[in-house]
Structure 1
Amino acid sequence: MASSVIQGFTKSLAMTVLSEIGDKTFFAAAIMAMRHPRRLVLSGCMTALIVMTALSVLVGWAAPNLISRKWAHHITTLLFLGFGLWSLWDAFHDEGESEELAEVEAKLDADFKANKKGSKDGNKDDDDVKKHNRSILLQFLSPIYLKAFSITFFGEWGDKSQLATIGLAADENPLGVVLGGILGQALCTTAAVLGGRSLASQISEKIVALSGGVLFIVFGIQSFLSTVVV
């Protein structure tokens, strides 16, 4: 039992870190943290990612109860191999990172300018944000927190990392998968908020994509060679 938890944890952690660095939500968190209080951006993004990870693991855990464990295992194997090839394909298209960053920046710039037009309301919200003694409940109702949450949650919905987490949870210990996924998301999101733009510029997107692709393929081969526990 302990070994299966550790295996699920390490697989989920490695997969999450390599999938999320340079991801669209990674850039979104980095850009938002430059314009708004970091604690609100970090808490909003992390809440969304924890909810998303928990939901994904729940779906993956329930999958073998909806379809046979044998089919769940085969689907998981195909997912890993498919995502591995997808990541390797992305690795040889260098423009992927700059296009994704430009897309996120353009969207957030449009939102930022739209918010500035309502200066009175915006200034009032900014004043509220700067009150460090506000209750935790009011912080969760902050427009910045809600924006960080919604952008991250819907940005991750249907993403490669979410589908991979579902597949991993169907084949590994769900507790290990959720703990590894949350830790991986926490590391990536914290790095994005504290210095995502500079970090992303120093890390080669091609190397990250290649590493992720190789990791997915290794998981797929391991899943293919392993026996199905019915």
Structure 2
Amino acid sequence: MEAFLATFAVVFLAELGDKTQLLVMAFAAKFPWRQVLVGMTLGIFVVHALAVGVGSFLGSLLDPFVMEIVASLMFLAFGLWTLRGGEDNEEAAAAGRYGPVLTVMMTFIVGEMGDKTQFAAMAMAATASSWLAVLVGAVVAMVLADSLGLVAGAFLQRWLPPARMRWISGGIFVFFGVLGLAHALLGR
């Protein structure tokens, strides 16, 4: 349960104000919300299943101390990447011949590949004892966070501008990175 909760918290907070929330709002304006939700969920599952698989594999090969240091450094890098601003101008793919569900799914897969939430799930899986808890935590967090974009995007943009959300999210990553490094180095 600890791996689920930790992964959920990190991924959910990292996803707030992310580009995929904006994609969800754009898709929701163009397609029926149920199709957007299905495509979004399928894309999120594919991306995080790959991340958790790679993270679990690496975690089984490396010493836990090394993995904690690597994961903490990754969190610091994500925090700095988030604070810097990243690439927010990814465009949604045209529906064309694929239909709404496949279009949304493929856009999520492409948009989230190499994203900080995917690397966060990979890092969590490398250090957690339960890859399944990490996968479920990451997928549930992403679906809920991106559903906020579907339901309450306009409200969030009015009260919490993207720049503020980016600072909050980046600060949280830096905090967890520093905390992880301190835990690894002081616990050694």
For residues 161 and 5 of structure 2, the distance between their equivalents in structure 1, rounded to whole angstroms, comes to 23
Q: Would you say the 8 A contact 2:48–2:135 is kept in 1?
A: yes
How many angstroms does 1:10 deviate by? 2.5
Alignment of 1:211 onto 2:171? no
Task: Return the TM-score normalized by structure 1.
Answer: 0.70
Q: Would you say the 8 A contact 1:15–1:212 is kept in 2?
A: no
RMSD over equivalenced CA pairs, Å:
2.6
Alignment partner, residue 158 of structure 1: 114
Alignment partner, residue 52 of structure 2: 57
Alignment of 1:82 onto 2:77? yes
How many angstroms does 1:147 deviate by? 0.2
Q: Percent identity?
A: 28
For residues 44 and 88 of structure 1, the distance between their equivalents in structure 2, rounded to whole angstroms, comes to 29
For residues 41 and 89 of structure 1, the distance between their equivalents in structure 2, rounded to whole angstroms, comes to 29
What do the CA deviations read for 1:98-144 (whole angstroms, capped 9, x no partner)? x83xx34xx44x836xx5xxxxxx8xxxxxxxxxxxxxxxxxxx611
Alignment partner, residue 143 of structure 2: 186
Q: Would you say the 8 A contact 2:65–2:184 is kept in 1?
A: no
2:33 aligned to which of 18, 30, 38:
38
For residues 33 and 10 of structure 1, the distance between their equivalents in structure 2, rounded to whole angstroms, comes to 29
What do the CA deviations read for 1:46-100 (whole angstroms, capped 9, x no partner)? 111022122211211111223333332221121112222233333xxxxx7xx83
For residues 74 and 48 of structure 1, the distance between their equivalents in structure 2, rounded to whole angstroms, comes to 29
Alignment partner, residue 11 of structure 1: 6
Please state whether the residue corresponding to 2:114 is helix, strand or coil. coil
Greater C-alpha Rg: 1
For residues 76 and 111 of structure 2, the distance between their equivalents in structure 1, rounded to whole angstroms, comes to 23
How many angstroms does 1:223 deviate by? 1.7
Q: Would you say the 8 A contact 2:38–2:101 is kept in 1?
A: yes
1:169 aligned to which of 106, 122, 125:
125
Letter in 2 for 1:158: G
Q: How does 1:84-123 map to 2 (within 5 A)?
A: 84-90=79-85, 100=88, 103-104=89-90, 107-108=91-92, 111=94, 115=96
For residues 22 and 208 of structure 1, the distance between their equivalents in structure 2, rounded to whole angstroms, comes to 5
Alignment partner, residue 93 of structure 1: none
Alignment partner, residue 104 of structure 2: 148
Q: Would you say the 8 A contact 1:27–1:197 is kept in 2?
A: no
For residues 158 and 197 of structure 1, the distance between their equivalents in structure 2, rounded to whole angstroms, comes to 27
How many angstroms does 1:186 deviate by? 1.6
How many positions carry a matched residue from both structures? 185
For residues 225 and 22 of structure 1, the distance between their equivalents in structure 2, rounded to whole angstroms, comes to 28
